[in-house]
Structure 1
Amino acid sequence: MTGTRRGAQPTLTGRRVRLRPWRPGDATEVLAACQDPEIQRWTQVPVPYTAEHAQDFVAGIAPRTWDDGGALFAVEPLGGGGLVGSMGLFPPADGFGEVGYWTAPAHRGQGLTAEALGVLAGWASDAAGLHRVELHIDPANSGSRRVAEAAGFTAEGTIRQRFLHRGRPGDVVLYARLAGDPGR
């Protein structure tokens, strides 16, 4: 997908969530969410996370990711209620792509992130033509592991010292969802 001219990034809809392109006005909610210690613990967001980081994410990184063949989406509940989180597909290659996400504290434990992940994985398989979507999750991140499993991803094993987080190598559990897996 990289290097090809793409149309506008779509909006994706599930039963309870909408995944839409980021807008500049979202920076305030991104800034607030990324102050959360759990988001900082499990993701690659800069620490400390500043207003400039949030603005660059919504107005710079998100559009560049789309231009490079991936997609970053703001996740919101269909009925309103503020930002649920971020859901992204990194630019894929060779028919597979990696996804990542974070959830704002007020929306954890409601199943919205799992639904959004399922919507994104389905879109990646159907519209983007990927045969495999992967997640790399720290073994201790039980919340993210539950989200992956609820979205139809299968744990394939632990990859030792695969991930460099804040300068330290760490293990990850490799999760994957194939285009033909049940539950799609």
Structure 2
Amino acid sequence: MTASGRGTQPTLTGRRVCLRPWRTDDADAVFAACQDPEIQRWTQVPVPYAAEHAREFVGAVAPRTWTDGGALFAVELLDGGPLVGSMGLSPPRDGVGEAGYWTAPGQRGRGLTGEALRVLSDWALDAVGVHRVELLVDPANTGSRRVAESAGFLAEGTIRQRFRFRGQPSDLVLYARLAVDRRS
């Protein structure tokens, strides 16, 4: 058992992707991916993104998230290759977990992040025991909205000025997938 009493973070697999715990040797790939203007535009990564941010993410943030009841995963292809992206579940509260993700440049548009999100949400709904997984997406982020919908999430509405992003009030579209939703 780990200090959290949860045991070791699992590796999850889909048809084409594998979600595994982050390792310290992933820091260079995270640093390279987070230089991407689209990741910096749509996520909460620090800007500018420095090498120490990547080392902190894989070496401290990811293990702490597991200890606190959530999980952060590196997404890879089952048959190997470069990092596809990051997939995470915040520590659940009241039976609800919030998912978040980014996709490395060069890996977008292939359906891999949608598959990884489905794998993560299946795990959260089945093994973690949440009854609801949520996503909060900027209304203008059409790529992320497509990912959510491809993974079986339904848009429930726009929450106006719900979030402060880089100092500015921002709208969010609330997506959710429930334990009672049909799975395919």
TM-score of the superposed pair, with normalisation by structure 2:
0.97
Note the residue ranges of structure 1 that are not aligned, 5 or more in a row: none
Question: Aligned residue for 2:68?
Answer: 68
Which one-letter code corresponds to 1:14 in the other structure? G
Question: Aligned residue for 2:6?
Answer: 6
Which one-letter code corresponds to 2:49 in the other structure? Y
Question: Aligned residue for 1:124?
Answer: 124
Give a deviation string over 1:30-80, Cα, whole Å, max 9, x none: 000000000000000000000000000000000000000000000000011
Q: For 1:18-167, list aligned pairs within 5 A.
A: 18-167=18-167
RMSD: 1.0
Q: CA deviation at 1:183?
A: 2.4
* Partner Cα separation in structure 2 for residue 166 and residue 35 of structure 1: 17
* Partner Cα separation in structure 1 for residue 43 and residue 57 of structure 2: 14
Q: CA deviation at 1:164?
A: 1.2
Q: 4+ runs of 1 displaced by more than 4 Å?
A: none
Question: Aligned residue for 1:15?
Answer: 15
* Partner Cα separation in structure 2 for residue 28 and residue 170 of structure 1: 31
Which one-letter code corresponds to 1:65 in the other structure? T
SS at match of 1:127: helix
* Partner Cα separation in structure 2 for residue 39 and residue 183 of structure 1: 29
Q: CA deviation at 1:178?
A: 0.2
Identity among equivalent positions (%) equals 74
Would you say how many aligned residue pairs link Structure 1 and Structure 2?
Answer: 182
SS at match of 2:121: helix
* Partner Cα separation in structure 1 for residue 63 and residue 84 of structure 2: 20
Q: CA deviation at 1:4?
A: 5.2
Say yes or no: does 1:169 pair with 2:145: no
